Amino acid sequence: MFNPILEVARWLQDTPLRLSLSQSTWTVPIIGAIHVLAIAWFGGAVLVREARLRRFRWIGLSMLLFTGLLLFWSQPLRLYYSQFFRAKVLLLVLIGLAGCLPSRFARLGFLVSLVLWAGVILASRGIAYR
């Protein structure tokens, strides 16, 4: 059966960028460090429910997605088969959906997304192990 996500992971696996990322000693650790630094810089803006921080939050999310994409690119097939990575992606999609709730459910959506973010962090640590 044709599996588009697996095909993308296979294609990324064979790109020159994947090869240079995984052959370099320091590139992936540095990108990983920036990824964690972004959590430290922008995590507070997720906890503090403040509409005026929206732009600041988007900057943080962009940094996390960009560094996260490069981290994925460094080992696409391993991550494709990692149960924790799959859980992480699912939780991120759910966070996106929680943000789309109508405004009268905004408080509920906020509390649910906090729990989901905690799940994202747990799943992310799990990826380092399997």
CB atoms within 10 A of CB 60: 19
Q: Any contact of residue 52 with another protein (CB under 8 A)? A: yes
Binding another protein by CB under 8 A: which of 5, 8, 37, 93? 37
* Pair 27, 21: CB distance under 8 Å: yes
Nearer to another protein, 32 or 77 (CB): 32
Amino acid, single-letter form, for residue 11: W
User: If you count them, how many residues does the chain have?
Assistant: 130
Residue span binding another protein (CB under 8 A) among the ranges 15-23, 39-47, 70-78, 96-104: 39-47
CA 55 distance to own-chain centroid: 18
Q: Any contact of residue 56 with another protein (CB under 8 A)? A: yes
Binding residues among 68-87 for another protein as defined by CB under 8 A: none
Binding residues among 12-31 for another protein as defined by CB under 8 A: 29
Task: Please name the residues in contact with 80: beta carbons below 8 A apart, sequence gap of 6 or more.
Answer: 5, 6, 9
Q: Least separation, in Å, of the C-beta of 3 and another protein? A: 29
Q: Where are the alpha helices (DSSP H) in the chain?
A: 4-13, 16-23, 27-47, 54-74, 76-81, 83-98, 106-129
Site residues for another protein per CB under 8 A: 29, 32-33, 36-37, 39-48, 50, 52-53, 56, 117-118, 121-122, 124-126, 128-129
